């Protein structure tokens, strides 16, 4: 709630497929709708299954998995493996400005066979987004940016 207020974006708490469908319908004119999963651990397969079932019950929804670039390799791969069951179409990597290593971005994208759609830097969440590109990732990996 606090994060949504700070960004001046609508917020809805939902706990059922019907509530999710209504929230998505109400926000259908927006470019992206973020579904936060507070406390949903990659080890909570029942929780991930419930999330997958909710997302599948709502027609015409594109799922993008948001991952912090500061996450260690082991954890990022475990998160990717666990959340791949929600069938994301692409990856969004945040916190590039705080990361010192970028190989895990390529590695996760390759392992999951998913494109990276967005890179994010800074605190102004969507204002500091850029479309992901191979050139940007390569430059980051080689530390030439």
Which range is least confidently modeled, 2-6, 30-34, 99-103? 2-6
Query: CA distances (Å), 56 to each of 46, 50, 99, 117, 120, in order?
Result: 15, 10, 33, 21, 27
Q: Please tell me the class of the 2-141 domain.
A: alpha beta
Q: Each residue of 12-58: pLDDT tens digit?
A: 888 888 888 888 888 888 877 877 777 789 999 999 999 898 888 88
Is the pLDDT assigned to residue 129 strictly greater than 80?
Answer: no
* Average of per-residue pLDDT across 136-142: 76
pTM to 2 decimal places: 0.80
Which range is least confidently modeled, 14-18, 70-74, 119-123? 119-123
Which range is least confidently modeled, 14-28, 81-95, 115-129? 115-129
> Which residue, among 130, 98, 97, 125, has the nearest Cα to 6 in the 3D structure?
125
């Amino acid at each position: 709630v606090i994060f949504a207020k700070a960004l001046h974006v609508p917020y809805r708490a939902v706990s059922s497929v019907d509530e999710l469908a209504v929230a998505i319908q109400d926000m259908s004119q927006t470019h992206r709708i973020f579904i936060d999963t507070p406390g949903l651990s990659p080890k909570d397969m029942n929780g991930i299954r419930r999330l997958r079932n909710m997302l599948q019950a709502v027609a015409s929804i594109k799922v993008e998995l948001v991952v912090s670039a500061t996450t260690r390799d082991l954890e990022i791969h475990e998160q990717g493996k666990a959340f791949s069951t929600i069938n994301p179409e692409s990856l969004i990597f945040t916190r590039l400005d705080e990361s010192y290593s970028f190989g895990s971005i390529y590695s996760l994208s390759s392992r999951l066979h998913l494109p990276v759609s967005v890179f994010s830097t800074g605190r102004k969440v969507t204002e500091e987004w850029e479309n992901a590109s191979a050139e940007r990732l390569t430059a980051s990996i080689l530390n030439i940016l």
